[in-house]
């Protein structure tokens, strides 16, 4: 991969996580009817991090789930589409809940569209909100916007935004990779 540039270092990364948690508390209060669902893979890591920090901030019984959308993708028969599925674990009913859907990067919006289709198979949420770490502005191909965003970036279509995690990469950071 050529030309990797850090656009968010670990210090600012931690601040962003903190801000997103505070924003969620501001909107959801005691989270009485809310739940957090991460989209595999990157979204689950972000959701886990948020879940952990929210617990430290006193939000103790927020249901947390993982959603895999591989079987809902419309590009799985092209070479770009991933084929391997990861576990879906939603141990609670989403019926009439306020679902906070979490993904690491919002790009075309297709992943989120698939995730909403998948989510409907678990019940009818009262509302679905979207939280993303990185919003790649001006690159949407569907009318989908995030309610909570960590970082807004302007990118070219052939660039790639990589959100890296302490648990898997040794450090929290966001990289912009050239074409």
- Enumerate binding residues for other proteins (CB under 8 A): 41, 68, 70-73, 76-88, 117-118, 120-123
Q: Which is nearer to other proteins, 59 or 114 (CB)?
A: 114
Which whole-number Å values give the CA distances from 89 to 47, 66, 67, 157, in the listed order?
13, 5, 7, 32
CB 34 within 8 A of CB 97: yes
Minimum separation from the CB atom of position 55 to other proteins (A): 26
Q: Which is nearer to other proteins, 26 or 79 (CB)?
A: 79
Minimum separation from the CB atom of position 107 to other proteins (A): 13
Q: Which is nearer to other proteins, 76 or 138 (CB)?
A: 76
> By C-alpha distance, which of 61, 111, 68 is closest to 90?
68
Minimum separation from the CB atom of position 47 to other proteins (A): 17
Q: What is the CB-side half-sphere exposure of residue 154 using CA atoms within 13 A?
A: 0
């Amino acid at each position: 991969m050529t030309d990797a540039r850090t656009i968010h270092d670990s210090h600012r990364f931690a601040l962003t996580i903190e801000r997103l948690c505070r924003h969620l508390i501001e909107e959801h209060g005691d989270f009485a009817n809310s739940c957090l669902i991460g989209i595999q893979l990157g979204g689950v890591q972000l959701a886990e991090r948020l879940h952990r920090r929210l617990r430290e901030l006193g939000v103790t019984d927020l249901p947390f789930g993982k959603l895999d959308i591989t079987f809902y993708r419309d590009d799985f028969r092209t070479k770009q589409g991933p084929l391997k599925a990861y576990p879906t674990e939603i141990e609670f009913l989403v019926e009439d809940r306020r679902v906070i859907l979490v993904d690491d990067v919002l790009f075309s919006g297709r992943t989120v569209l698939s995730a909403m289709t998948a989510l409907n198979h678990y019940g009818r949420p009262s509302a679905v909100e979207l939280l993303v770490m990185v919003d790649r502005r001006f690159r949407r191909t569907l009318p989908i916007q995030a309610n909570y965003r960590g970082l807004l970036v302007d990118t070219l279509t052939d660039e790639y935004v990589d959100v890296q995690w302490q648990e898997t990469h040794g450090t929290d950071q966001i990289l912009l990779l050239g074409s």
